[in-house]
Structure 1
Amino acid sequence: MIEKEKIKALLRNTKRIVDHQNEMMIAKGENFNIFSVLRIETKEDKTHSAFIAELLNPKGSHKMGAVFLELFLQVISHRNNLEKLNKAKENFEPTGAKVTTEYYIGNVDLKKEKGGRIDVFLKDKKGNFISIENKIYAKDQNQQIKRYYNFKTNKNTVYYLTLDGKSPSDDSKLGLEVDLDFFNISYKDHIISWLELCLKEVPNFSSLRENINQYILLIKKLTNTMDDKYQTELLDLMMSNIEESKFIATNYDNAVMKLKSNFRKDLKVKLEDGLGESYFLDIGGPTKSNKISQLWIHLKSNPDFIFGIESFSGFGHKEGNMFVGLISKPGKLSETLMNLPEENKISDWWRQVRVLKTEDLNPINLAHSYTIKILNNKGKENQSSYKKLLNTCYEQIIGFVRDYEKVLPEELFVNVEKL
């Protein structure tokens, strides 16, 4: 039987530990992070892949030769069972290796399960390869891990890098076995461990050292990792209240999912009122953290004509940031939509897209802790922030729809009352 007072006490003590950690970060000036200031902290290609590849590159601007690459190989080799490898990764030669981002391996061919662009690609002088697929919040592509595995299979080892070390989707790996055909690695474990080893090789008071430190702080922020002292204290607290900790962990995702789901319902009602009789709306995808979650706006006179809003889970395209767009589904309307100018194209299905932003021009993401706190304000005395978020999304979505109504063929918009 879980006692309510024990749960309250556990949460109070957890807050105390977190507050102490935050106070220490402020005292040490660690709240200032150049990646956060520039709003690039979740960009997989421009930030994470680029930074990691530069350190791994023996000819990188760090001028440290192959030492960082050697340490990286040491970390991933230590964590993985090399006896299971049927490839040549354990013989990878760091000296003289070449490192490339967005490495092109041909056009995507789903029938032959090949092609694509590998986020971080390493090649040594002996023709051994390492392929790293880097995921922060973006969803898996169809056959992605399988396609990369099929590239130079006998010489290529594939790593799937995520914040927490989770496995790729079934649609991505297509029957491949983790720790045999490919390996999962994480920012929280492998990358932080590697970077801390790198710091030991870098001179004190150098800009390189400070940049690596800044990147470590960014990863700790993204993975909710605390300093060892506070991590140990929190672990001891949780283990002393193991049943209560388990209860909180089990119910957290459901509680957050409900907040996101309620927000989507409120936005749906508001949009139905604002868009009028020409449209009908329906809900798609659950608000689970690993699923893309949408709201669809259909034109009544032609239901195949769809505006879409993603993602209410904080997972998916655009690093999980919310956006409104036009869906270019194959069919009768494809030619009409194909002739429209592209706007922030994501894919062949999303050719016209607009990211939803706050008044401060920050992307709106329902997975961020700050936004979740706002979602929890509904029905409370300080619910003005909730209404503000709702109105901000509503106005930008309505604006997008009205903008495209002006450039779309008039025949799409027949009088609904005559239908």
Structure 2
Amino acid sequence: MKQIIKHSDLEMFLKDLRIISNKHKNEKSKHDFNIFRIIRAGHEEVSLHSQFLFELLSPLGTHNKKNAFLELFINQLNIKFNLDNIEVHCEKDNIDLLIQNSSQAIIIENKIYAGDQPKQLSRYYKIVSNSRIKDIYIVYLSLDGKPPSFQSIENLPLEIIENKLYSKSYKKFINPWLSLCLKECATQPVIRETIVQYQQLLNHLTMSNEVKERKELLNLLGHADYMKQAQFLADNWIHMKWHTEMDFWNELFTQIPNELKPYPIVEEFLFNDKFLNGVIHSSRNKDFEYGLMLKLFNFKDEEICFMIERGEDRLDYGLLINYLNLDKKKWEIKKTDFSDFLKKNISNDFFGDKDSPWIHWKFPKQNIDFETFNNETTLALANPEKRKQIVSNLWKEVTGYINTILKWEGIRELKEN
């Protein structure tokens, strides 16, 4: 029988829940001074995490410990790796971290929140193997140790996938390694405190400090007989996700700026009930390629479109070629100076490879993630007023992006011809 929950009981439960949440927020704020969280956003992968790991791993780092931290890292990885003539690079050939000697290499791909790019690890492997290094290891580093997506390892040799690809987490791999590093610098307070603060940031990102809060919540559920209310919320959470996402897309559609309304909507990619059901209520064969797509201009027989896409993790937006109506996928526009124009005029971006219909894409400034559905911005979309403001901010951002794109000289030449 379907349980009936009184709204008054649910309101009381949420009120008590808010008291616990606010209490732990206040406790956390007492320990909020953290140099890493002050100088950078905690989720910025390359600019913070890769740079800091590089500083520790490099024998030339300012820690003056030579190979000490690097040796601990390799020992924890449990591989045979020669430390003679070793070099450590950050962002060399777009590889987050690269450790190499004359015959071996370790590729470290640093993933905090961003999704994988098509054939990303395969490309990095090819770059390193082309330098005549054949003994190559790949470390896929994420908050929770999840494996790389299939699209990232596509074309990667089976030998690498089965024997030399390591999925490691910050919580269970990096944090223990940092603790070993602390022992190496017990008499060097500056290095020691810096590592401690970085560990605090990792604890924040991996929620290692939430155990006390969860125990208090469990206490509340048991003693106040709130389990029914909690179960009611749990049973309906997936439906709340569905309606929150659909409300977002409808608001996005409603707020299309007047200056963009002349551009036709590509119906095949337009959000609808079927798309949402496929990613929220289904566990297999999910199609994340939907949202709102506008046709901007034609280049030869290709439709060049702008799309705000749901994505398999974070919401993203960018430029792509409408591939549905093409017999031959030549991606003619990629053979022009269009990519150079984008690199010059738009920052913080990603470019699709030669086989992808995507020309260029990026993440919005606001982190909207319908898949994990747990960050502050995404949850705020359930509030109508906040949703309007978030969507308004998004349209301001992407309108500027589109206006920049439309300044490409090639578009004017197309109109003149």
Q: 1:178 to 1:248 in 2, by over 3 A?
A: farther
The aligned counterpart of 1:37 is 38
Amino acid at match of 2:182: L
Deviation at 1:193, TM superposition (A): 2.4
2:380 to 374, 378, 388: 374
Deviation at 1:133, TM superposition (A): 1.5
The question of whether the paired residues in 2 share the 8 Å contact of 1:103 and 1:120 is answered with yes
Amino acid at match of 2:120: Q
Structure 1: which 5+ runs fail to align?
78-88, 105-116, 357-362, 415-419
CA distance in 2, matches of 1:34, 1:327: 39
**CA displacement, residues 54-75 of structure 1 (integer Å, 9 cap, x when unaligned):** 1122331112333322332344
1:134 to 81, 106, 110: 110
CA distance in 1, matches of 2:307, 2:292: 5
The aligned counterpart of 2:326 is none
* Structure 1 residue 296 corresponds to structure 2 residue 273: no
The aligned counterpart of 1:270 is 255
**CA displacement, residues 243-288 of structure 1 (integer Å, 9 cap, x when unaligned):** 9989867865664454234212321232176533443254468676
CA distance in 2, matches of 1:8, 1:260: 24
CA distance in 1, matches of 2:228, 2:297: 51
* Structure 1 residue 25 corresponds to structure 2 residue 16: no
| Stretch moving more, 301-310 or 48-57 | 301-310
Amino acid at match of 1:157: Y
The aligned counterpart of 2:137 is 157
The aligned counterpart of 2:152 is 172
The aligned counterpart of 1:100 is 89
* Structure 1 residue 119 corresponds to structure 2 residue 96: yes
The question of whether the paired residues in 2 share the 8 Å contact of 1:128 and 1:155 is answered with yes
CA distance in 2, matches of 1:266, 1:182: 42
The aligned counterpart of 1:388 is 389
Q: 1:7 to 1:172 in 2, by over 3 A?
A: farther
CA distance in 1, matches of 2:41, 2:308: 20
Matched residues, number: 371
Q: Secondary structure at 2:171's aligned position in 1?
A: helix
* Structure 1 residue 220 corresponds to structure 2 residue 224: no
- Give the alignment of 1:221-300 within 5 angstroms: 221-226=204-209, 229-230=212-213, 252=237, 255-256=240-241, 258-271=243-256, 275-282=260-267, 283=269, 291=288, 294-299=291-296
The question of whether the paired residues in 1 share the 8 Å contact of 2:316 and 2:361 is answered with no
2:320 to 327, 337, 346: 327
Q: 1:158 to 1:26 in 2, by over 3 A?
A: same
CA distance in 2, matches of 1:269, 1:39: 35
Deviation at 1:374, TM superposition (A): 2.3
Q: 1:275 to 1:54 in 2, by over 3 A?
A: same
Deviation at 1:22, TM superposition (A): 2.5
Deviation at 1:295, TM superposition (A): 2.3
Deviation at 1:160, TM superposition (A): 1.0
Deviation at 1:185, TM superposition (A): 0.4
**CA displacement, residues 128-184 of structure 1 (integer Å, 9 cap, x when unaligned):** 332211112333233333455563786222111112111111122238486634111
CA distance in 1, matches of 2:196, 2:39: 16
CA distance in 2, matches of 1:56, 1:247: 49
CA distance in 2, matches of 1:74, 1:8: 53
Amino acid at match of 1:296: M
Q: 1:277 to 1:65 in 2, by over 3 A?
A: closer
Amino acid at match of 2:393: T
Amino acid at match of 2:341: P
Q: 1:401 to 1:130 in 2, by over 3 A?
A: closer
Share of identical aligned residues, percent?
26
The aligned counterpart of 1:69 is 70
Amino acid at match of 1:219: L
**CA displacement, residues 85-111 of structure 1 (integer Å, 9 cap, x when unaligned):** xxxx2x22457642212344xxxxxxx
Deviation at 1:328, TM superposition (A): 6.0
* Structure 1 residue 144 corresponds to structure 2 residue 120: yes
Q: RMSD in angstroms over aligned alpha carbons?
A: 4.5
**CA displacement, residues 313-345 of structure 1 (integer Å, 9 cap, x when unaligned):** 583xxxx4755x443675565677728832225
Structure 2: which 5+ runs fail to align?
281-285, 323-329
CA distance in 2, matches of 1:313, 1:76: 32
Deviation at 1:52, TM superposition (A): 0.9
The question of whether the paired residues in 1 share the 8 Å contact of 2:82 and 2:101 is answered with yes
- Give the alignment of 1:350-361 within 5 angstroms: 356=364
CA distance in 1, matches of 2:243, 2:100: 46
Q: 1:59 to 1:254 in 2, by over 3 A?
A: farther
Q: 1:223 to 1:304 in 2, by over 3 A?
A: farther
The question of whether the paired residues in 1 share the 8 Å contact of 2:380 and 2:387 is answered with yes
The question of whether the paired residues in 1 share the 8 Å contact of 2:351 and 2:360 is answered with no
Q: Secondary structure at 1:271's aligned position in 2?
A: coil
Deviation at 1:366, TM superposition (A): 0.8
TM-score calculated relative to the size of structure 2: 0.69
Amino acid at match of 1:189: K
Q: Secondary structure at 2:295's aligned position in 1?
A: strand
